[in-house]
Structure 1
Amino acid sequence: MFMGFSAELLARFQFAFTVSFHIIFPAFSIGLASYLAMLEGLWLWKKDPIYLRLFNFWKVPFAVTFGMGVVSGIVMSYQFGTNWAVFSDRAGPVIGPLMGYEVLTAFFLEAGFLGIMLFGLNRVGPRLHFVATLMVAIGTLISATWILSANSWMHTPQGFSIAENGQFVPEDWWAIIFNPSFPYRLTHMVLAAYLTTAFMVGATGAYHLLRDRTNRQARIMFSMAMWMAVIVTPLQIVAGDLHGLNTLEYQPAKVAAMEGHYKTHEGGAPLILFGIPDDENQEIRNTIEIPRLGSLILTHSLDGEVLGLDAFPEDERPPAAIIFWTFRIMVAIGFAMLGVGLWSLWRRWRGKLFEDRLLHRAVLLMGPSGFLAVLAGWFTTEIGRQPFTVYGYMRTSESLSPVDAPAVGTSLIAFIIVYFIVFGAGTFYLFRLMRRPPDADDHELDKGPTRTAGITPGPHQDTPLESGHGA
């Protein structure tokens, strides 16, 4: 024991801490890479250097985010050997190749074209440079694909057999890669990354509009971000619902904990909006609920049976007291995003998108909401899988390395100190970059690239992306 905690609990804290730091960087870089590709494509199409200026404004935050994501990912992966060696040994034949494919196909693609994207415009020309930007954006999506495939397999494992030594032996790689939860989880995560980026870009644009609402670059940033919020948020809500139905099929205990159902409801389950979960007494107190709506959402029938945690052995129940709240935080943020998106659509229709200072303040406040939603969703997913690492086959308690609690606790403290110093400094630098006025160095950005590219700047005019009435 170390400060009253077991080695297993400390190892879980350590992995949760490092993965929480890590996931916020890919959640931003995946969306930002696609945004950069869109900006450069608009520059080539419209022949308007304003989009190149925006590209140059956002490429430095992308580079910083990408670098911090790589560093935090490497640190996280080492824990498979230090704290979770038994899991690595048994699940390695499946997880190892999937992680290796991510490096071979995605990381090499990103790393190979990143330098060209950041520094190569004057050397390779605009079209080849655009190809490099596209390759980086595609690489981030491929990376998410492999990582989500590996993680999804741990939730819905299939395509394997178990050897005499307890190892998971691959039998069908198609079944392993395209396991039942993979398509839903990949879609949900990629859309979450796009929304995270949209609200960070929108918050940056809103910040500069509050200082100068005539700033053309800020107007474009804000307009594009609000279009993404309007279009992607409803898609994300639908994807989340489909993901929830898939989880109900393959991990019903997780759904019972998320919904706060300690008891099985045979004649229709309520939708519990609020309550205080009590895992010790297996009940939820002070509930605010809508009768039968839970069954309608989960089973598409008002009388559909919804299993409660009492339908599962006590040692296979996830901690409802945690994921009941993280699930509601994620859902609440999602509907707040939808509300802001619809608000912006109304103001755009009225021609007041860039004059509504209350909207700008709301979007600025919503800037970090994507990160919070991603973390809340990740906690819901991973804590809801407990007490298993490979769902239904390998328990977390069986996955731990033979390490002592003081060793894990000491390394956890070291991680906390180093992470807050290093990544705190990196995050502070990112905010400084985004606070910088987007037209602060236009005279520098107009040098070289537009002339070298052979693209002549067009006259200043409002485009659909800038106009309050944009189509």
Structure 2
Amino acid sequence: MDLGLTALELARIQFAFTVSFHIIFPATSIGLACFLAMLEWRWLRTNNPIYQDLFKFWIKIFAVAFGMGVVSGVVMSYQFGTNWSEFSRIAGSVTGPLLTYEVLSAFFLEAGFLGIMLFGWGRVSRKAHFFATLMVAIGTCISMFWILSSNSWMQTPQGFAIENGIIVPQDWWAIVFNPSFPYRFAHMATAAFLVSALLVVGTAAWHLIKGRRDELIKKSFSMGLWMVLVTSLAQVFIGDNHGLNTLEHQPTKLAAIEGHWETNHDHGMPLLLFAIPDMENEQNKYEIGIPNLGSIILKHSLNGTVTGLKDFAAEDRPNVTIVFWSFRVMVGLGMLMVTLSLIALWLRKRNRLYETSWFHKFAFIMGPSGYIALLAGWVTTEVGRQPWVIYGVMRTKEGLSHTVSADQVGLTLIIFVAVYTIVFGSGIYYIAKLLFKGPEFIYSQKPEIAGLGHFKTPMRPLSAVDESIDDTDVRQEKNHD
């Protein structure tokens, strides 16, 4: 099976494909776990049953996303032994323990309390159930901590020595808290909260467009927009500091992000808004930029010098076109998120938040933007690190398994694409159907008024999401009225 690509290229494509599918589910579950904890805390503080009903709805989305995240993560990890066994052999003494710590400290915590969170409603006390929800939320953040620590170490490796060609840990504190880790952890955590907040906002906006104006939709819309406001503004600050850290520790990646070829010795570096990088001729075409703004942002000086790509060997540069544009997709969507939240703040002041139809359409369109920005950010991070799998220490081609062929990797890639499309495509479709169906009144109205039963606790795991999504839902039409 000749796809015209090498085993290295196919292995990279395969890993990129599986990790791209995977990352959207943990990001969703991290943000929703914290949102669920907030909903339950608000319910305990206020006894407002609206928060119970919202908890009932969003825990279904969380359960599906969490399950798909676990499955896709396990599948992805096998590639370290199949396609990247040399990487595992050489760097496994660092990455292996970090991933083990994630399992011991986070996965066990999540698994231990997840059952109580999903199936313990009405069987344990209110405070015990909230404690379980809180532990699951904390567990998802601890899991993110160790995963980001491992990946950040590959970006900015510290605290190790090389003995007989093998990377040997010397200082675990330096390994875990490597130079880029604090920035990347904060950046990813904020991104996860943004992803989930925009999911909540987009869902509520859809139902506002369809005419629902009940308290469930209004509360979702309001809470989601407050979170977008806080996290989008925080992300601007975090992203700026992350960029300065990248300039210090990964200058080649930063130069590629900026499309900066020539080191500016006697003038300021512009901030390019548009360009088509030409890697062969080492220049940009059709540049549109703001003079000196790049130097101001990166060096806090009007004429600050930033090292250009030509000062690095051609074989040490990433794909400039991909990195340049993926970064701009991420930043552009980030600016739209800030715009969305500021418009929402203005509409709140005018008491028009729930009655402005054009804004609801804008919010609905922005619903999936968190996922797009998340993927664009990871493309920037991972492609920008190339050609290194461990920056400055080990090249990606050196981590490839010696025994795999292009035919083998190509065949498994095709299988992955087919299986993922069916399995995870079905899961995403199911989540989408639940979202379009929307939250329903359970505790906040009497059953005979709402037309609903009680919030029953499922008896088995597959009953956690207990509704048919294909039947006509007369009850939702009543909510619309």
Is the TM-score greater than 0.5?
Answer: yes
After superposition, the Cα gap between the structure-2 partners of 1:78 and 1:216, relative to the gap in structure 1 and judged at 3 Å, is same
* Secondary structure at the counterpart of residue 276 of structure 1: strand
Aligned residue for 2:422?
Answer: 421
After superposition, the Cα gap between the structure-2 partners of 1:441 and 1:45, relative to the gap in structure 1 and judged at 3 Å, is closer
Question: Unaligned regions of 5+ residues in structure 1, if any?
Answer: 450-471
Q: Are the aligned partners of 1:31 and 1:196 in contact in 2 as well (CA < 8 Å)? A: yes
After superposition, the Cα gap between the structure-2 partners of 1:212 and 1:445, relative to the gap in structure 1 and judged at 3 Å, is farther
Q: Are the aligned partners of 1:269 and 1:306 in contact in 2 as well (CA < 8 Å)? A: yes
Aligned residue for 1:318?
Answer: 318
Q: Distance in 2 between matches of 1:298 and 1:225?
A: 32
Aligned residue for 1:178?
Answer: 177
- Quote the offset at 1:445 in angstroms: 6.2
Q: Distance in 2 between matches of 1:73 and 1:252?
A: 31
Aligned residue for 2:474?
Answer: none
One-letter amino acid of the structure 2 residue matched with residue 116 of structure 1? I
Q: Distance in 2 between matches of 1:120 and 1:382?
A: 40
Aligned residue for 1:227?
Answer: 226
Q: Distance in 1 between matches of 2:21 and 2:332?
A: 22
Q: Distance in 2 between matches of 1:447 and 1:391?
A: 51
Q: Distance in 2 between matches of 1:409 and 1:446?
A: 51
Aligned residue for 1:431?
Answer: 432
Task: Describe how 1:52-451 pairs up with structure 2 within 5 A.
Answer: 52-164=52-164, 166-266=165-265, 267-402=267-402, 403-439=404-440, 443=447, 444=452, 446=454
Q: Deviations over 1:38-91 (max 9, x none)?
A: 000000000111101100000011000000000000010000000000000000
Q: Distance in 1 between matches of 2:55 and 2:379?
A: 33
- Quote the offset at 1:142 in angstroms: 0.2
Aligned residue for 2:28?
Answer: 28
Q: Are the aligned partners of 1:213 and 1:354 in contact in 2 as well (CA < 8 Å)? A: no
Aligned residue for 1:2?
Answer: 2
- Quote the offset at 1:231 in angstroms: 1.3
* Secondary structure at the counterpart of residue 168 of structure 1: strand
Question: Unaligned regions of 5+ residues in structure 2, if any?
Answer: 458-481
- Quote the offset at 1:212 in angstroms: 2.9
Q: Deviations over 1:141-185 (max 9, x none)?
A: 000000000000000000000011x11100100000000000000
Q: Are the aligned partners of 1:213 and 1:355 in contact in 2 as well (CA < 8 Å)? A: no
TM-score, normalised by the number of residues in structure 2? 0.92
Q: Deviations over 1:372-403 (max 9, x none)?
A: 00000000000000000010000001110021
Structure 1 runs of 4+ with >3 Å offset: 440-449
- Quote the offset at 1:262 in angstroms: 1.4
- Quote the offset at 1:213 in angstroms: 3.8
* Secondary structure at the counterpart of residue 305 of structure 1: coil
- Quote the offset at 1:448 in angstroms: 6.8
Q: Are the aligned partners of 1:43 and 1:49 in contact in 2 as well (CA < 8 Å)? A: yes
One-letter amino acid of the structure 1 residue matched with residue 140 of structure 2? T
* Secondary structure at the counterpart of residue 124 of structure 1: coil
TM-score, normalised by the number of residues in structure 1? 0.94
Q: Are the aligned partners of 1:209 and 1:215 in contact in 2 as well (CA < 8 Å)? A: no
RMSD: 1.2
Q: Distance in 2 between matches of 1:174 and 1:101?
A: 14
Q: Distance in 1 between matches of 2:31 and 2:453?
A: 23
Q: Are the aligned partners of 2:156 and 2:249 in contact in 1 as well (CA < 8 Å)? A: yes
Q: Are the aligned partners of 2:203 and 2:438 in contact in 1 as well (CA < 8 Å)? A: no
- Quote the offset at 1:121 in angstroms: 1.6
After superposition, the Cα gap between the structure-2 partners of 1:51 and 1:445, relative to the gap in structure 1 and judged at 3 Å, is farther
* Secondary structure at the counterpart of residue 417 of structure 2: helix
Q: Are the aligned partners of 1:262 and 1:310 in contact in 2 as well (CA < 8 Å)? A: yes
- Quote the offset at 1:36 in angstroms: 0.2
Q: Distance in 2 between matches of 1:386 and 1:2?
A: 25
Aligned residue for 1:460?
Answer: none
Task: Describe how 1:454-469 pairs up with structure 2 within 5 A.
Answer: none
Q: Deviations over 1:12-51 (max 9, x none)?
A: 0000000000001111110000000000000000011110
After superposition, the Cα gap between the structure-2 partners of 1:47 and 1:396, relative to the gap in structure 1 and judged at 3 Å, is same
- Quote the offset at 1:232 in angstroms: 1.3
Q: Deviations over 1:94-135 (max 9, x none)?
A: 000000000011011111111100110211111000000000
Q: Distance in 2 between matches of 1:288 and 1:197?
A: 34
- Quote the offset at 1:322 in angstroms: 0.6
One-letter amino acid of the structure 2 residue matched with residue 99 of structure 1? L
- Quote the offset at 1:441 in angstroms: 5.1
- Quote the offset at 1:214 in angstroms: 2.1
After superposition, the Cα gap between the structure-2 partners of 1:447 and 1:91, relative to the gap in structure 1 and judged at 3 Å, is closer
* Secondary structure at the counterpart of residue 384 of structure 1: helix
Q: Distance in 1 between matches of 2:322 and 2:346?
A: 37
* Secondary structure at the counterpart of residue 385 of structure 2: coil
Q: Distance in 1 between matches of 2:420 and 2:2?
A: 21
- Quote the offset at 1:320 in angstroms: 0.4
Aligned residue for 1:463?
Answer: none
- Quote the offset at 1:446 in angstroms: 4.6
One-letter amino acid of the structure 1 residue matched with residue 222 of structure 2? S
- The number of equivalent residue pairs is 448
* Secondary structure at the counterpart of residue 122 of structure 2: helix
- Quote the offset at 1:447 in angstroms: 5.3
After superposition, the Cα gap between the structure-2 partners of 1:432 and 1:441, relative to the gap in structure 1 and judged at 3 Å, is farther
One-letter amino acid of the structure 2 residue matched with residue 432 of structure 1? K
Q: Are the aligned partners of 2:316 and 2:387 in contact in 1 as well (CA < 8 Å)? A: yes
Q: Distance in 2 between matches of 1:405 and 1:269?
A: 42
Q: Distance in 1 between matches of 2:3 and 2:96?
A: 34
Q: Distance in 1 between matches of 2:264 and 2:12?
A: 33
One-letter amino acid of the structure 1 residue matched with residue 168 of structure 2? V
